[in-house]
Structure formats: C-alpha cells, structure tokens
Amino acid sequence: MASKAELTTQFIIEKVAPVFNKLGYEATSMSDITNITGLTKGAIYGNFENKEHLAIEAFNYNIRQVVWKIADDINRVDSASEKLAAITAFYRKYYNRTIEFGGCPMLNVGIDANHMNSMLHERVVTILKKLQTSIAEIIQKGVEDGEFREGLNSEQLGARIISQIEGAIYTSIMLKEPNHIADMMDFLDEWFERDLKR
C-alpha cells in the first residue's frame, strides 16, 4: 500500500503532467503548479528536488500514459508483420489519444527542451532511441523467422519508420488535421507488404 508521501507525489505528477506538456518547461511557473495542485510551494518542493525533477517525472508519466501503451498492442500478437500492423493501428488513433494531454509529449517536450533543458532533452532522446530499437528488433525478428526478406538493415529501417511516424504526427498537430497520420500509416502498411515481406 502506498504511503501518504507517495500518494501526494503521484497526485502532483498527475495534475502537473498535462500542464508541462501544454505550456512547456520554461513557461510553466510555480504559480501554475501550485494553482493546479492546490498545494503550497513548500509542499511541492517537499516531494521534488526542484522544478526540473518534477518536469522529468511529469514527462515520464505522459510517456507512460500516451506512448508506452503501444507495448500492450505489440505484445498481444506474435509475428513481426502483426507487430508492425499493431504499430500503425496504434498511431492511427494517436492524434485523438493525445488531445487531453495537450499533444504528443515527445514532440512538445523535445522541441521545448532542445535548446533549453539538457536533462529533459536527453530523456526525450532516450525514448526516441527506444522506439527506433523496438521497431528494428521487430524487423530483425521477421528476417530471422523467414517472414521478411534477407539483407534488410533493421537499424536503418527502425530509424526511418519512427522518423516518418513522428513527422506525420508533427504535421497533423501543426495543421490540426489528423488525416496526415492516417495517410502515413496507410503508406507504411503498403510499404511493409511490398518491400519487407518475402
């Protein structure tokens, strides 16, 4: 059973996570944090070393709520083809999933922190590389199982696929037109079928 301190810490993270995601690290003030939580500045700092520590925990929370849900979909299926299809199906719904969080935390925090906060930036880079690696491992599994053709550069393809996905997310969010994500997922599905399979 969680302690009172642990429950307070979780409460703060859950309340503040969407605010950091919408406003960014620099634009989110301590007043914003105290207003949304109803807690004093002292109570906030009693649970977190500083604002940066809270921002990182808030980002991690948003990633778990929005991005890492993809792992459940991938793990429900066995073959590499099914796993890639699970990825495109997940991202087809991504625009609507992220609305309540103020958009994609990867893009929001990545752009906001790129020149402003090295610790947050490094955390985004770590998540991005994990996504690339996960896709590369799926492709490599497909090659080893004889499902995909030999000679594929799985690392390069993992990087390309996540770049196309993130680019489509960026375009859809900037233009407020979710069809760009759906379009890219259709393109990827066709490309997997045409160029990856034996």
Domain 63-196: homologous superfamily in CATH: Tetracycline Repressor, domain 2 (1.10.357.10)
Q: What is the pLDDT of residue 111?
A: 86
Q: Which fold has domain 4-60?
A: Arc Repressor Mutant, subunit A (1.10.10)
In the predicted structure, residue 1 carries a pLDDT above the cut 80 = no
pLDDT band at 112 (very low <50, low <70, confident <90, very high): confident
Share of the chain above pLDDT 90, in %: 77
pLDDT band at 25 (very low <50, low <70, confident <90, very high): confident
Task: Give the residue extent of every domain in the chain.
Answer: 4-60, 63-196
Distance of alpha carbon 9 from alpha carbon 104, whole angstroms: 23
User: What number of helices (H) and strands (E) belong to the chain?
Assistant: 11, 0
- 4-60 and 63-196, same CATH topology: no
Share of the chain above pLDDT 70, in %: 100
pLDDT in tens, 140-197: 999 999 999 999 999 999 999 999 999 999 999 999 999 999 999 999 999 999 999 9
Distance of alpha carbon 24 from alpha carbon 16, whole angstroms: 11
Instruction: Name 197's bridge partners.
Output: 148
Distance of alpha carbon 172 from alpha carbon 181, whole angstroms: 6
Kindly state the tokens that stand for 163.
């770049």
Kindly state the tokens that stand for 57.
């925990």
In the predicted structure, residue 102 carries a pLDDT above the cut 90 = no
